[in-house]
Structure 1
Amino acid sequence: MSRQRARRGRGLAGAALLAVVLAGCGSDGYEPAGPFRPQPEGPPPQVGPPTESSPAPAPGDPADPESEEDAGDPNVVASGLLVPTGLVVLPDGSAVVGERETGRLLQVFPDRSPARELMTVGGVDTAGDGGLLGLAISPTFPEDGLFYAYVSTATDNRVVRFPMGGTPNPVLTGIPRGETHNGGGLVFAPDGTLFVGTGDTGNAGLAQDPASLAGKVLHVDVFGRPVGAGPVHSSGHSDVTALCWGGEQALYATDESAEGPDALDAVTEGGDAGWPTAGPDSTGPVVDFGPAEGGLGGCAVAGRTVFLGALDGRRIHTVQLDGTGAVSQEPTEFLTERYGRLRTVVLDDEGALWITTSNEDGVGTPGPDDDRVLRVFPPGGAQDSPL
């Protein structure tokens, strides 16, 4: 059981911006493109080249929606991808999406301009549900152009950072690695610190083991140094696939479990989400979903509305919260069974949701244009009052 277009001008502007911010996408590594773009610091990266046991699959070319079946679907901004998982919206309104199984990063545009391949993160190990998972951009991205990624290697899960086209350097290493439940949630807080969601690697006992980084939400600064008494911020999680902010200090996690329903957790410092053993001090979920509706893989918050991507449920859940953070009405859904398995959900400044499909992951039933990146305005919008 599993607990489990805007404007053509914007696309052209996005390409022009990345010509500066993402300069250096060549085989010679990163070349600074301005006075605030330092060379990557730190020791040589431990994300190594592909090995015999973990070869790098050859990436395919992204399909042009204008020439595919999706040409008539205004929700589809890119297609022909392979398990797009991490996604970040850039300041210019375009997005960068990462393919879990190839490590490839592409820029996609709200006006459905052809996707632009940027680089490939080498050495990721895609066994089980590992690979290139969460993505985030630096809190000072306009100045430093740095991307953060949660990746699986042959020996661990880790957070790395890099300028586009540059070498990934380790930020946080030694997160336990397994065949399943490798986590991957990343989100920056308003104060510029980083929260990292991990999984229990299929070993439930690790989630409540204070000596392990597995099954936790971690809290570090941009260099990977613990914040507060950390790095463990909360424990008792099964598989934190995504993290999202709602309001000034509200942090939420999607938690996919091997047993029972999948949950949306409110994450608090020192909290215990109750996996595998709920104690008197454990916090219950904000809301949970059974196997037929679950497989939670992404979340985004707009005011008092939380949007959840469901892989097994093949839909987006809409959860309305009250001023205390509790569910105020029965959750609703949209895009049900329309695009298959839905994973990542990211909100942009215009109120649109960027959503990735995950039909090529070996579990779904891929169509001729899968996988896809969608950009959708949710029905009814969101309740804008802060939590």
Structure 2
Amino acid sequence: MRRAAAAALLLLALGGCATFPEQGPREWHEQLEGAGELGGPPVVPENTAPPEPPQQSGPERQSGPQQTPSGCQDPDPQVIATCLNPVGAIAVLPDAASALVGERQTGRVLRVRQGSEPQLVTTVPVDGTGGGGLTGLVLSPSYIEDQLVYAYITTPQDNRVVRLAAGEPPKPVLAGIPRGPVNNGGALAVDEDGSLLVATGNAGQTPPPPDSLAGKLLRIDLQGHPAKGNPDPLSPTMSSGLQSPGGICVDPQRGAAWVTDRRVGEDALHLIKPGVLPAPAWRWPDRPGVGGCTAQDGAVAVAQVRPESLFVIRSDAKNLFVGAPETLLQETYGRLSAATLAPDGLVWLGTVNKAGGRPVSSDDRVIRIQPLAAGGDNRQ
């Protein structure tokens, strides 16, 4: 991989990006940890992901030609934050230079920025068993004004969407999503109409009842009510049939929305359509453990736990995939899970190397890479 060229292009891209100052009545400040509290197919192992190799000791994995990390100091210019717990979700802030990062099993939400120590914003009580925890994080469509953040979490009783505001405990927006022994993780996104898209796991039900919120693609307003334009105006359900979703991504240029799913026998990428979960637009029979995704101008990038890479496919104007896929960052940063697109078009990724991978001293990390649609060379 031409790492030097990638780093140079990244620096050029960042140097030319506009920033958007945050405004509004609330500001996110560092808080003490623990602050805040909460008002078909057979069942397969947790997350329906491929069997994970045991954590290995020994020499640290090299991150390309640059120096090996030393403690929490990582010389890689694409690394934004280090020494985190496995990352469950990322939401990039409007300035495009900092982000809120959710740790899946601890429920901590940290503000990260390159060159600064991560700042604890809040800790949301979560239950990380059965693939659950804090697995979704997205900014309010009017974040600059209201400073609100939405999270998908697992509690001992259920899975739910909660709203986070500075200085306040998390407030349930949509509660009662079934939880079970497996497939409790979910994902969040905001569509082009400003509604929340919510992907829910099936909680081990095969399949869940039609009126259940498990295993669904939901579309709700910011108060948790069914969004206008849903197939059934009285229901939050857009479509059914998800098993263990890893991420939702909306293409800002085209408006198309995609959801990844770890299924029995295969991993899949679906184009989101009202009323029905269509056949997968892309299938992975080898089940690499698909996670979060990003979409921009027809390029869809999917984070993979195995083979520790970012999988990129490109589509035409009809959202049909064309050309050969690309595998980027292979065995460069380890197991990738969270993925999101920043306002400046850069891609942010989170690792989960402490969860069964081969962590280096600076893991787990948040990484920022150059735009995929611009044809940058991030390949290994």
Distance between the aligned counterparts of 1:218 and 1:147, measured in 2?
18
Which of 340, 361, 367 lines up with 2:360 in the alignment? 367
TM-score by length of 1: 0.78
- In 2, Cα distance between equivalents of 1:270 and 1:325: 18
Q: Output one character per residue of 1:263-291: Cα deviation in whole Å (capped at 9) or x when no partner.
A: 1101111103xxxxxxxxxx211111133
Q: Is the 8 A contact 2:25 2:145 kept in 1?
A: no
Give RMSD over aligned pairs: 3.0
Give deviations 1:161-210, integer Å, cap 9, x for gaps. 0213421000001111123212311011122111100011122211xx31
Q: Secondary structure at the match of 1:71?
A: coil
Alignment pair present for 1:336 and 2:330:
yes
- Aligned runs of 1:224-239 on 2, under 5 Å? 224-227=224-227, 228=230, 229=232, 230-239=235-244
Q: Retained in 2: the 8 A contact 1:254–1:299?
A: yes
Instruction: After TM superposition, give the deviation of residue 120 of structure 1 in Å.
Output: 0.9
Question: What is the match of residue 221 of structure 1?
Answer: 221
Q: Tell me the distance in 2 between the aligned counterparts of 1:265 and 1:133.
A: 19
Shift of 1:367: 2.2
What's 1:153 paired with? 155
TM-superposed deviation, 1:26: 6.1
Partner of 2:74: 71
Moved more, 83-92 or 68-77: 68-77
Counterpart residue identity of residue 326, structure 1: L
- Give 1:158-237 correspondences, 5 Å limit: 158-206=160-208, 209-227=209-227, 228=230, 229=232, 230-237=235-242
Q: What's the counterpart of residue 119 of structure 1? A: 122
- Cα 1:368–1:24 shift into 2, 3 Å: closer
Q: What one-letter code is carried by the residue in structure 1 that aligns with 2:101?
A: V
Partner of 2:99: 95
How many angstroms does 1:331 deviate by? 1.0
Q: Which amino acid aligns with 1:328?
A: V
Q: Counterparts of 1:252 and 1:194 in 2: how far apart (Å)?
A: 14
Per-residue displacement from partner, 1:325-356 (whole Å, max 9, x unpaired)? 11111211110111111011111133221000
The alignment status of 1:290 with 2:285, answered yes or no, reads yes
Which residue number in structure 2 is paired with residue 265 of structure 1?
270
| SS state at 1:329 partner | strand
Query: 2:201 is aligned with what amino acid?
Result: G
Letter in 1 for 2:260: T
Following the alignment from structure 1 to structure 2, what is the Cα–Cα distance between the partners of residues 380 and 301?
9
- Aligned letter for 1:92? D
Q: Does 1:322 align with 2:316?
A: yes
Instruction: Report matched runs for 1:374-385 at 5 Å.
Output: 374-378=367-371, 381=374
Distance in 2 between the 1:203 and 1:382 partners? 42
> Which residue of the partner structure matches residue 48 of structure 2?
none
Higher normalized contact order (CA 8 Å, seq sep 6+, divided by chain length): 2
The aligned counterpart of 1:130 is 132
- 1:226 aligned partner, one-letter code: P
Q: Summarize the Cα distance change of 1:69–1:102 in structure 2 as closer, same or farther, 3 Å threshold.
A: closer
Matched, 1:358 2:364: no
Any idea what SS the aligned residue of 2:207 has?
helix
Distance 1:134 1:348 in 2: 16
1:22 aligns with 2:15: no
Work out whether residues 182 and 201 of structure 1, in 8 Å CA contact, stay in contact via their aligned partners in 2: yes
Aligned pairs, number: 329
Calculate percent identity across the aligned residue pairs.
36
Query: Aligned partners of 1:304, 1:200: CA distance in 2, in Å?
Result: 29
Evaluate the alpha carbon distance shift between residue 29 and residue 201 of structure 1 in structure 2; reply closer, same or farther with a 3 A threshold: closer
Task: Identify which of 250, 253, 271 aligns with 2:256.
Answer: 250
- Taking structure 1 as reference, are residues 138 and 313 closer, same or farther at Cα in structure 2, changes over 3 Å only? same
Compute the displacement of 1:248 (Å): 4.6
Matched with 1:347 is 341
State the distance in 1 between where 2:202 and 2:26 align: 40
The one-letter code matched in structure 1 to 2:174 is L
1:308: Cα distance to partner?
Answer: 0.5
Q: Which secondary structure state, in structure 1, belongs to the residue aligned with residue 89 of structure 2?
A: strand
Report the Cα distance in structure 1 between the residues aligned to 2:247 and 2:319, rounded to whole angstroms.
18
Letter in 1 for 2:76: D
Q: Report the Cα distance in structure 2 between the residues aligned to 1:91 and 1:298, rounded to whole angstroms.
A: 20
Residues 18/256 of structure 1: CA separation in 2 closer, same or farther (3 Å cut): farther
8 Å CA contact 2:72, 2:82 repeated in 1: no
Aligned pair partner of 1:141 in 140, 143, 146: 143
